[in-house]
Structure 1
Amino acid sequence: MKFVKTFPEVAADPGIRRQVLSDSAELMVVAFRFQETGAEGKLHNHPHTQSTYVESGKFRFSIDGQEFEVGPGDSFVIPSRAMHGCVCVEPGTLIDTFTPRRDDFL
Structure 2
Amino acid sequence: MTYPVIPADLGVTRQVLAENPDMMVVAFRFKHGAEGKLHNHPHVQSTYVEAGRFAFTIDGEEHDLGPGDSLVIPSNAQHGCLCQEAGTLIDTFTPRRDDFL
Shorter-chain TM-score bucket reads over 0.9
Aligned-residue RMSD, C-alpha: 0.4
In structure 2, the gaps of 5 or more residues are none
Aligned-pair identity in percent equals 69
Segments of 4+ moved more than 4 angstroms: none
The offset of 1:54, in angstroms, is 0.2
Which TM-score applies when normalising by structure 1?
0.94
Q: Report what 1:19 is aligned to.
A: 15
Q: Which runs of 5+ in 1 are unaligned?
A: none
Q: Whose strand proportion is higher, 1 or 2?
A: 2
Aligned-residue offset at 1:80: 0.1
- Output the TM-score relative to the length of structure 2: 0.99
| Alignment: residue pair count | 101
Query: Secondary structure of the residue that 1:8 maps to in structure 2?
Result: coil
- Which is higher, the Rg of structure 1 or of structure 2? 1
> Aligned match of 1:91 in 75, 86, 94?
86
Q: Does 1:79 align with 2:74?
A: yes
